Chains A and B, each alone.
Chain A
Amino acid sequence: DTAVSQTPKYLVTQMGNDKSIKCEQNLGHDTMYWYKQDSKKFLKIMFSYNNKELIINETVPNRFSPKSPDKAHLNLHINSLELGDSAVYFCASSQDVPNYGYTFGSGTRLTVV
């Protein structure tokens, strides 16, 4: 059984479109995250939710809006997509604070053309 699953795996879309990425975890973790990995493999946190409450909101354009309907799900909606949004987006989860690491999903490769 997949612990952290994201859909879709690949997303190719035109500039200006709106798209969503979904994430679900079956680990019973309290905290979920969205990370962005650029072409140089650098992972940067975007958002974090703990028990459905937004606790980290990094300097991310407000075109990006996370939503956590319950503590097992965290979705990411992106409005007015730009070329610079092309990256791999990873969902992750941890049991409360991530001192002992995250469990990552397999990523969503977003390409904006």
Chain B
Amino acid sequence: QKEVEQDPGPLSVPEGAIVSLNCTYSNSAFQYFMWYRQYSRKGPELLMYTYSSGNKEDGRFTAQVDKSSKYISLFIRDSQPSDSATYLCAMSVGGGFKTIFGAGTRLFVKA
């Protein structure tokens, strides 16, 4: 079993839809949780990070962490065609230099 599981998709939604992207993990020591967006042939770009449990909002993006269920989510409101990309979750224990990435979910937002 991988430490971080993420459905690779693809996930296809119409413009304006609310998108929900998720990851599960097995290591209860993870405390820092990140979401990256990666456009085709580009490097991953940090979208959001959260520490421990709870929600964090930034514009149309909301990150949610449920440590009791070992489950994290990224919600995208009013999705746009420009949101079409691969979304990678990532997490770390903290205090170390290693981050574990999910496999990424490919998202298509149709105009």
Q: Which of A90, A97, A100, A101 meets B97, CB within 8 Å? A: A97
Q: How near does chain B come to A43, taking the closest CB pair, in angstroms?
A: 4
Task: Tell whether B61 is near chain A: CB-to-CB under 8 Å.
Answer: no
Categorize the interface residue count of chain B.
Answer: 20 to 34
State which residues 37-67 of A face B: CB under 8 Å: 40-45, 48, 50, 55-56
Residues of B within 8 Å of A106, CB to CB, are: 42-43
Which label, helix, strand, loop or mixed, suits the secondary structure of the A interface? strand
With a cutoff of 8 Å between Cβ atoms, the chain B residues found around residue A42 in the complex are 101, 103-104
Say whether A98 contacts B44, CB under 8 Å. no
Q: Does the CB pair A97–B95 fall under 8 Å?
A: yes
A101 lies within 8 A of B34 (CB): yes
Closest 8 CB pairs of A and B: A104-B43, A101-B46, A43-B101, A41-B104, A99-B32, A106-B43, A48-B97, A101-B34
